[in-house]
């Protein structure tokens, strides 16, 4: 039902407002507000660490993950966190531009398909804490996950996990402090009852936040937990 409504809204918007490229104003392609030229110039992430999605010259496992393997089984990012993705993500986060969620969700879904990311049984967006959710009005990981799920036909569930503790912003903290800051931040309120989950976020930096959620899901009995993210920021 929701999907039919979403598709009807897409079709209606495309009819009423033929999409213009959000970056340069040229005509969009694939009913998205992005032109072919700007799409090709985006900082697509081609080769990365398979455990943390850190950009690497050739695909493999990075030094950090060799020394201290992260809790997730795999990690995938569509882009490096570089212009103009930083602008798109900031708009997604603070500008309340749900249209950007459609665009970035479509791009993430394209990357997942083109690069054959293993298809999970369920997508779980990294939850915001209630106070932050109330301040912001909506949860960008959730709207992104809904768009990706709709396009890839993977169910999305944002009710199985909760952020039980508000955490200080991660920016400005080093790796160890970030891990400490988010330890125990998530609780799985209802085990998802599937074998393979991908947790989804808009930006991954050190992976500490998403790692805390992965750990909670593994403890709740999920055998394989991957991380899907729109962009990977370098460390
Ligand atoms: Zn353009
Ligand atoms: Zn790595």
Cα 127 to averaged position of ligand 1 atoms, centre (Å)? 32
The average pLDDT across 61-65 equals 95
Claim to verify: residue 125 and residue 166 sit in the same structural domain: yes
Claim to verify: residue 124 and residue 197 sit in the same structural domain: yes
Rounded CA-CA distance 67/131 in Å is 36
The domain containing residue 22 runs over which residues? 1-41
Find the ligand nearest to 204 CA. 2
Cα 35 to averaged position of ligand 1 atoms, centre (Å)? 4
Choose the weakest-confidence range: 76-85, 99-108, 123-132: 123-132
- Count of domains for the chain: 2
As a whole number of Å, the end-to-end CA separation of the chain is: 41
| Contact assessment for residue 144 and residue 92, using Cβ atoms and an 8 Å cutoff | yes
**Tokens in use for 141?**
């990981």
Nearest to 130 by CA among 158, 100, 164: 164
Claim to verify: residue 73 and residue 30 sit in the same structural domain: no
Confidence band (pLDDT; 50, 70, 90) for 14?
low
Cα 100 to averaged position of ligand 1 atoms, centre (Å)? 14
Claim to verify: residue 82 and residue 30 sit in the same structural domain: no
Claim to verify: residue 81 and residue 167 sit in the same structural domain: yes
Claim to verify: residue 79 and residue 169 sit in the same structural domain: yes
Confidence band (pLDDT; 50, 70, 90) for 162?
confident
Cα 64 to averaged position of ligand 2 atoms, centre (Å)? 6
Confidence band (pLDDT; 50, 70, 90) for 97?
low
Nearest to 144 by CA among 129, 123, 174: 123
Nearest to 158 by CA among 197, 113, 119: 197
**Tokens in use for 158?**
């944002």
Cα 232 to averaged position of ligand 1 atoms, centre (Å)? 22
Claim to verify: residue 36 and residue 57 sit in the same structural domain: no
> pLDDT, tens digit, for every residue of 36-58?
999 999 999 989 999 999 999 99
Claim to verify: residue 64 and residue 35 sit in the same structural domain: no
Claim to verify: residue 9 and residue 73 sit in the same structural domain: no
Find the ligand nearest to 19 CA. 1
Rounded CA-CA distance 225/231 in Å is 18
**Tokens in use for 84?**
């103009």
Claim to verify: residue 82 and residue 35 sit in the same structural domain: no
Nearest to 85 by CA among 201, 231, 228, 204: 231
> pLDDT, tens digit, for every residue of 134-156?
666 667 888 899 999 999 999 99
Claim to verify: residue 131 and residue 167 sit in the same structural domain: yes
Rounded CA-CA distance 23/21 in Å is 5
């Amino acid at each position: 039902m929701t999907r039919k409504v979403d598709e009807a809204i897409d079709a209606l918007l495309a009819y009423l407002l033929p999409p213009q490229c959000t970056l340069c104003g040229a005509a969009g392609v694939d009913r998205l507000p992005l032109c072919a030229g700007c799409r090709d110039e985006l900082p697509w992430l081609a080769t990365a660490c398979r455990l943390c999605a850190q950009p690497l010259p050739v695909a493999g496992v990075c030094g950090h993950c060799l020394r201290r393997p992260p809790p997730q089984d795999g990690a995938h990012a569509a882009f490096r966190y570089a212009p103009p993705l930083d602008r798109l993500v900031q708009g997604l986060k603070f500008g309340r531009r749900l249209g950007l969620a459609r665009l970035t969700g479509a791009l993430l879904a394209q990357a997942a398909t083109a690069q054959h990311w293993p298809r999970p049984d369920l997508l779980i967006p990294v939850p915001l804490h209630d106070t932050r959710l109330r301040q912001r009005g909506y949860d960008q990981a959730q709207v992104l996950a809904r768009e990706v799920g709709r396009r890839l036909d993977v169910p999305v569930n944002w009710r199985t996990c909760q952020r039980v503790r508000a955490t200080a912003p991660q920016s400005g903290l080093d790796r160890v402090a970030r891990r400490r800051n988010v330890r125990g931040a998530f609780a799985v309120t209802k085990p998802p009852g599937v074998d393979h989950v991908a947790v989804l976020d808009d930006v991954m930096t050190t992976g500490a936040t998403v790692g805390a959620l992965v750990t909670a899901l593994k403890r709740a009995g999920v055998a394989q937990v991957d991380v899907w993210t729109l962009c990977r920021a370098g460390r």
